[in-house]
Structure 1
């Protein structure tokens, strides 16, 4: 690490930036599409891993790039496990219907649906977050995600049960508790992020957004989205670092309109430029303020943590990442 990088890392203000070249991204996308078509879709996991590596390497914190270490093989194995699970489920339902009765097929179907809602879905979400963080790094140190399974599954199950019973008035509380659990589980080295906000303030922000969105027939939605993001960032901290999010509703609206109109008009070819514009504005809107030596944090006990991260990350089931990609729209 050079003296220049060291002095930059010891600043009391930190900035995120994007060093992305749309033409390179376009070439990468076209190459991925071509190889995916030629291999009848089998190349898709490798295409996703390649795209993720490129995007992460374009993001800078005080000039130092992030890195993504996930491989296409890991994702391929994950997709394969999801496919096998789906085949097994279909065979059980069909066998029950054929050899017993159509009515009897309801029992395994309901059982699998409940298993998916109360166990597999939260496990997939937690596993996907863990997978992505452990395969992401900054200054050669991997991120991590540590949340007790009991807290994770209890928060999820309680929300799933209480939301319909309260006519979804519990939804803001569910989102609040899940957001706090997720942010508090984020790690970089031995440092932990904290989300400190009151449920009352979250409810106030949530219903204000709902009210204005309804009164404006949905036109307020970009501002509502930004308001929630600003609330979450403003109540998140990392040791002495406080976060601030300065994106405006108007900027958010412009990004959404670009995706809505520029992509269809250009037949998708404008995607790298639209993606860069959106990411650049979002990264510039994130401000980290506080006195902390990030370089020292990155260097302390480096060998121990790196070895630990390497051994830990190898045990993370890639099925979670693959399953999460089924609903990923990016």
Structure 2
């Protein structure tokens, strides 16, 4: 019997330092998130970061927390329930980090008689610290606890025409009645070394401004190429002018070079260049979360306005929108019927 496993990032159980600390510990101790020597990672995370970060992060979570719980969890649950309404396969939801584990979701599917699973990492783009770690963790849990299960993974869907269509139309809807000067596509940031580590050729990815436009098998696992491709495809779909859009990267740790340009620097640059009305799209995520709701929608607005900008709008993620649900339902049902996956 076939079933579907949707996996998103995860969240603390509450916006308190007590619950944020174990969540951050699991997240930051992931070798695909902080990919350094295990001893150094333990020292960095547990000896330094976790001494202060939980209180700071808890305050940030508290600013965006809903009555029903974590926005990411609530939106993901709504999405999963809607997808379930469009397929006769069991649909389970798991999180890479936190109490809603992948193992629990696989057990839920097993209890319903599922022995063949379509794994859907809810990330449009391939990155070590998002898509890849979901796949690796799922396969580890399968090997240890569910050896009889067969698992097929949905590819990164960053350039799927159906995804680009629903994303573009969602952006267009968010731009209604907003007379923008500029649209900034802000994607989650990752260290530059992750790009090179994910390059199967070990020589193509130079992050030099040109390698992303030169065709290569490396693009299948190159986050930088994939996000720029998403921006370009949305631009073409909506007929946006080149001078009115740009791409940037948010969230970084000090000490290492991360993908540039940095989003917070772009807020200041665009405002000082005379852009008064800025719209921001966070297309690395399909569900709004701490990074979109607090870092972009709140802090980003403050940064842009302090630099001289006047009007700012964060375009919501796809979340549980009916058009996005329909696309996902189509993909999973095609897999069920023909084992066809989007490319």
TM-score after normalising by structure 1: 0.29
Larger Rg, first or second structure (1 or 2): 1
Higher helix share: 1
TM-score after normalising by structure 2: 0.29
Q: Which has the higher contact order (CA 8 A, sep 6+)?
A: 1
